[in-house]
Structure 1
């Protein structure tokens, strides 16, 4: 008899249809206007051959030969063991490393989205477990927005993510704005997701409402489809990594024509005079005018001049997407976009001004926030050491080396044990060949995984974990006011257990089980977290009790209406009464604090720095195509690459790569052909898609295909599957943020006429019993 159960994921809420414990299908919910196609594809992955079914230990590590020849991580076989043995091995190794090297030798950064759910937050569970055990080295910031997270508190003050409640929502844009200029676009494919869960997808319809209200859009991006067709956006193809130069050319045009908002800049900003001198070229003799910008960006002078006029003559919104800051000097387009909006005259006016990350998640621009939802209580980490999130390979390769970070000097710790739970570094890190070398350095790598992806294959101990379909939980998405129940749909595959149970068992072995669980079962934790959320509301009756919620499967938190700290409207109205949380209390066009750091790659005001790799540089003579490794439409990062939707998108089993027809013709590449994408760092196979949506000189290869190297650990080895981080550089944005610069990478593409190697990304390693 079929049963219908609620399913909640990062890409939306669905209904699972189950018969006698067997998952038949996953269906969109009727009230979701734009359901993600990722959901139905989860069925295919639920029981595929890549599932990790039992605890497994790498043969070389088990035999005391962790790095010898064929026993190196990534190239070794595994021995399946019982849970008692696996937990004993992990517990003993944690104890040994702490006693011999100290708690800082344990790395628990464990970056990644993991699964949705308030209780079963993989990273939260791991870090609670490690903190109670003595502490660990943590990571800071995110691969998605590291440059933004570091620069914005300097420029506009507040928490790195507080801008979400300070920029206009889509409904406000429809009411008050006339022109949206989007640097990096507004790609709807990215709005499929929301960290923590999502009840209904609203971004598409909210964008339509803006267009119907007469708002006009400009898409400044190398990819036309970074805005939806129905927006009718003007497309300005821009040379990748040159958004800052385009903004500077527009700003110079505003300044010399007297179009800028002098009153707002005087009352609500600080340091504009220093920046204006840079724009005019008073120090370096190079005015940053529209002609200068046109030569760098590929956008002609007249178009930039017209855009400056429109931004100042109309009620306007300057938008910058996250992609533009994942590049060399990625802080600059974020900083410069704020300055451009301040100059344009609409900052702090209804529906106008500045914003970041619109359509990146179905949360940004949809709602300014939601009341707090309880999660498993964090425990203070006794270890103060941390690394910037994208510097993990540096830490493993160069312990003891000092690096700059946001005005501080950090010493990279010696990491002896890496514990990874809920993420996939062999997807999201840059230069995977370098990471594979670095990954050989620690004594031990422990991974919790549901599938034999690349990170599991590069581990020493792999503990199988239940997926979001195989446990009870409830979701609460970022800014989304809905709570959605997640009853278990199917039994865990094989011997899989929840992360919480694994850590509870380990904590008990190490002597702090009661402290970790607080003597609660998982079911009791779930009820406790929900009731804590209710109790924290001004009116607890706004939510039903837990039993009623579980029966209904959804509930809605009361809306937050503000006022929100750091409001640009309040700043415009009275900067003395409503200062920002910056040293000056105003928008810092020039930051004396950043200037005092003395960084040669991030001065005290936004500026143009030539990227290490771009189409205007010398390296473009050898590698004449710029690689845009953006987010995929068919999965969330690497999650469910083995799901139905992602597998259907492959071309002859490889990730699709999009080329402009002119670039393809020059290389004799036909649509649907398998090609080799390459540079000095590595190469990968991909399936060619020809489209005018990608400007000439650019290729687009989405992230997330499970890395499938022919010779794991061998420098530059071919990736059979199409992961762009085979090609990207492991190079920080700057000394300020140390963020990733994945989108500063040049490549070339050629036909692959040799016999195709089999894709082994979804094949488990050799397993022994």
Structure 2
């Protein structure tokens, strides 16, 4: 049996006459993602990169000006020419500037397969070459990943141990969801999503009588619950609401003082801030009502309900993708501490239920085989969302997690996996930064904007065109991913590309260790046996696994409850925080002296809005990030070929906009075209435009050109969440919308570039 593990599901590819015609979901998946339908037709579409290509100006003068990126035509070349050119540039930059001038820019979502994981392959190659400047954290969780080790523990450790859905169905009474539980987000998981869980989980909880509260500007952020209240609070005001809920708990004596005394540190300074002792302003429901648009009596009533029964408090990843994004994550923890239900069945807190499929699966945190990446001798790094700052301001200082660092001077960017033109904010500023390095090398499958703005483009295979192993932490199945079709055009897998480059640069034996792909799969599989045994998992022999095609990871004997062992005995099972306890006030963070992230959660008054509508640029329903935006499922959702923008009928009427109109969305950073959808299920004053539409400017040579396809990152601003994390702040953006009159420019995002 042939299986393919993708970030959004497990499928059985149907191939006829060597061509992919259908992606059939595996029979055990209870809620398969329709994103898989995009692969047939897209995998060999005109958007596919078929041969190595070099930007004309770079081919004529390697390492010269980057001003021609995105503007000049490409020249297709043979593989030897392309690899010789890449090797020469790597050798030149290292010789002239050192390895600290090389940036390994990979985001890691290119493949669910564990061996052909583009980020791991790139890091292993660059480590073998002497090192590179790396990035830390993620756009999804930049603020949360830095904050959590100080106050609760490592983020990945916490996510793998979240209280399971089956436990919540038995014991939870009230599920309070800040940012909702969006089904569209739970389609995906980094190492694969072999069995989709969220829709059935919400149904099970509903049948068990669990009541839900969806605190989000979007009603669609929580669907399928039988008893669900929608509270359309003002975007960015979640921390104010959490503070008011905490105020009611403390003011009415509903907080668990025994839990606070035994399991937490720092309640007293936070309490003084909460009650207004510090600044003269109690953070009471009346104060919060003016900031959230939620009436004070409703806030009081919700706090009392939370204290009266078993309550799960969940916060979506999206809330920390904002200025001061650490605060809602921190306050979620504080609220749960005040209720005192952490470590108990059905209660406590969650950091991203619904953000990815495997959170709450209740399965063992075993991630399967891994590719050893080696050690990076270069210490320089950046927080992942600060790439434009790095390229524009070499040598400038930046703060991060209690230390002062400096941006390196990057001359060569090597990117394999991910797409910066999807993830990064303020794309007009980013384009200016992207033209600074001397050389940009990209491995890509399709002619995305990142490929079109590179110097050397190497065509990479897709998951269906190579052998691999699909396995994700806390997932149900490990899958043998056998090649289903031959590579399209002259595409090669990342391993072969790097092995050929390593040969040219003199370290092929060290990089490849004499193994072909199947040898590596067997080697990494065998290397995962010990980690499997530590989780009580006995893997079959590799040959048995490879022949059978799948292995089901056994469920734990007991239900998973987050921090249950810590609650049972905090001395025997301390947390990884400085105190070993949950930290309501962090002495370590306070010692950093950051005015924008002090020692306990606080409310920062936002500046006056620059434009009347708040933009939510959330994850799309019809693709993962920007992957397969050119596929049938994503393209079917477009309006006049453009990404849909949802706005409230009241806001549309005030601007003369009708359903289905093409609209111009703009602010001081840029402008784009989108298709209007009118809906009562969005809060007035808010518009929603999903990320991932392939960047498509009218004139690539023009600064601040109109983007005609609907990529919201021409509108989001590129500043760090705080001095602590420097995380992404995409959700702190305001815009204006107007009806587009006249003929709209055609969408050309999915067309290949010009060739000489």
Which TM-score tier does this pair reach, normalised by the shorter chain? over 0.9
SS for the counterpart of 1:542 is coil
State the match for 2:37 in structure 1.
40
1:469 aligns with 2:469: no
Kindly tell me: are residues 406 and 497 of structure 1, through their superposed partners in 2, closer, same or farther at Cα, counting changes over 3 Å? same
State the match for 2:333 in structure 1.
338
Q: 1:709 aligns with which of 694, 697, 701?
A: 697
Alignment of 1:521-600 (within 5 A): 521-534=516-529, 536-538=531-533, 542-560=538-556, 568-600=563-595
1:84 aligns with 2:72: no
5+ unaligned residues in a row in structure 1: which ranges? none
1:377 aligns with 2:334: no
Alignment of 1:680-695 (within 5 A): 680-695=668-683
Deviation at 1:198, TM superposition (A): 2.1
State the match for 1:9 in structure 2.
6
Kindly tell me: are residues 535 and 165 of structure 1, through their superposed partners in 2, closer, same or farther at Cα, counting changes over 3 Å? closer
SS for the counterpart of 1:14 is strand
Deviation at 1:683, TM superposition (A): 0.8
Deviation at 1:618, TM superposition (A): 4.4
1:140 aligns with 2:136: yes
Alignment of 1:621-636 (within 5 A): 623-636=611-624
1:671 aligns with 2:659: yes
SS for the counterpart of 2:441 is strand
State the match for 1:216 in structure 2.
211
Q: Is the CA contact (8 Å cut-off) linking 2:199 and 2:224 kept in structure 1? A: no
CA RMSD of aligned residues (A): 1.7
Deviation at 1:233, TM superposition (A): 1.2
Q: 1:26 aligns with which of 6, 20, 23?
A: 23
Q: Is the CA contact (8 Å cut-off) linking 1:112 and 1:424 kept in structure 2? A: no
| Residue-by-residue CA offset, 1:120-148 (whole Å, 9 max, x unaligned) | 01010000000001000000000000111
State the match for 2:637 in structure 1.
649
Q: Is the CA contact (8 Å cut-off) linking 2:647 and 2:686 kept in structure 1? A: yes
State the match for 1:491 in structure 2.
486
Q: Separation in 2 of the partners of 1:84 and 1:579?
A: 55
Deviation at 1:313, TM superposition (A): 0.8
Q: Is the CA contact (8 Å cut-off) linking 1:103 and 1:134 kept in structure 2? A: yes
Q: Separation in 2 of the partners of 1:174 and 1:37?
A: 27
State the match for 1:107 in structure 2.
103
SS for the counterpart of 1:678 is strand
SS for the counterpart of 2:312 is strand
Q: Separation in 1 of the partners of 2:231 and 2:701?
A: 41
Q: Separation in 2 of the partners of 1:618 and 1:190?
A: 28
Q: Separation in 2 of the partners of 1:446 and 1:601?
A: 37
Deviation at 1:536, TM superposition (A): 4.7
Q: Separation in 1 of the partners of 2:115 and 2:417?
A: 13
Q: Is the CA contact (8 Å cut-off) linking 1:630 and 1:700 kept in structure 2? A: yes
| Residue-by-residue CA offset, 1:736-766 (whole Å, 9 max, x unaligned) | 0000100000001110012110111011111
- TM-score, with normalisation over the residues of structure 1? 0.96
Q: Separation in 2 of the partners of 1:442 and 1:130?
A: 17
Q: 2:68 aligns with which of 69, 72, 85?
A: 72
State the match for 2:429 in structure 1.
434
Q: 2:232 aligns with which of 234, 237, 240?
A: 237
State the match for 2:722 in structure 1.
734
Q: Is the CA contact (8 Å cut-off) linking 2:499 and 2:511 kept in structure 1? A: yes
Q: Separation in 2 of the partners of 1:648 and 1:264?
A: 52
Q: Is the CA contact (8 Å cut-off) linking 1:117 and 1:476 kept in structure 2? A: yes
| Residue-by-residue CA offset, 1:583-641 (whole Å, 9 max, x unaligned) | 222111001110011101001000001235xxxx242xxx1100000000000000000
Alignment of 1:444-523 (within 5 A): 444-523=439-518
Q: 1:260 aligns with which of 243, 252, 255?
A: 255
**How many residue pairs get matched?**
755
State the match for 2:268 in structure 1.
273
1:61 aligns with 2:49: no
Deviation at 1:169, TM superposition (A): 1.2
Kindly tell me: are residues 560 and 371 of structure 1, through their superposed partners in 2, closer, same or farther at Cα, counting changes over 3 Å? farther
Q: Separation in 2 of the partners of 1:355 and 1:342?
A: 12
Deviation at 1:372, TM superposition (A): 4.3
Q: Separation in 1 of the partners of 2:529 and 2:160?
A: 22
State the match for 1:327 in structure 2.
322
1:304 aligns with 2:292: no
Q: Separation in 1 of the partners of 2:380 and 2:577?
A: 26
Q: Is the CA contact (8 Å cut-off) linking 1:57 and 1:78 kept in structure 2? A: yes
SS for the counterpart of 2:736 is strand
Q: Separation in 1 of the partners of 2:648 and 2:319?
A: 21
Kindly tell me: are residues 234 and 391 of structure 1, through their superposed partners in 2, closer, same or farther at Cα, counting changes over 3 Å? same
SS for the counterpart of 1:508 is helix
Q: Separation in 2 of the partners of 1:502 and 1:575?
A: 50
Q: Separation in 1 of the partners of 2:85 and 2:297?
A: 67
SS for the counterpart of 2:721 is coil
Q: Separation in 1 of the partners of 2:220 and 2:20?
A: 35
Deviation at 1:562, TM superposition (A): 8.3
State the match for 1:185 in structure 2.
180
Q: Separation in 1 of the partners of 2:133 and 2:557?
A: 38
Q: Separation in 1 of the partners of 2:297 and 2:363?
A: 37
State the match for 1:246 in structure 2.
241
State the match for 1:753 in structure 2.
741
Q: Separation in 2 of the partners of 1:537 and 1:262?
A: 40
State the match for 1:637 in structure 2.
625
Q: Is the CA contact (8 Å cut-off) linking 1:5 and 1:17 kept in structure 2? A: no
Q: 2:600 aligns with which of 597, 602, 605?
A: 605
SS for the counterpart of 2:522 is helix
Q: Is the CA contact (8 Å cut-off) linking 2:471 and 2:479 kept in structure 1? A: yes
Q: 2:360 aligns with which of 354, 360, 365?
A: 365
Q: Is the CA contact (8 Å cut-off) linking 2:210 and 2:227 kept in structure 1? A: no
Q: Separation in 1 of the partners of 2:203 and 2:437?
A: 51
Q: Separation in 2 of the partners of 1:584 and 1:537?
A: 31
Deviation at 1:14, TM superposition (A): 1.0
Q: Separation in 2 of the partners of 1:167 and 1:493?
A: 41
Deviation at 1:5, TM superposition (A): 3.4
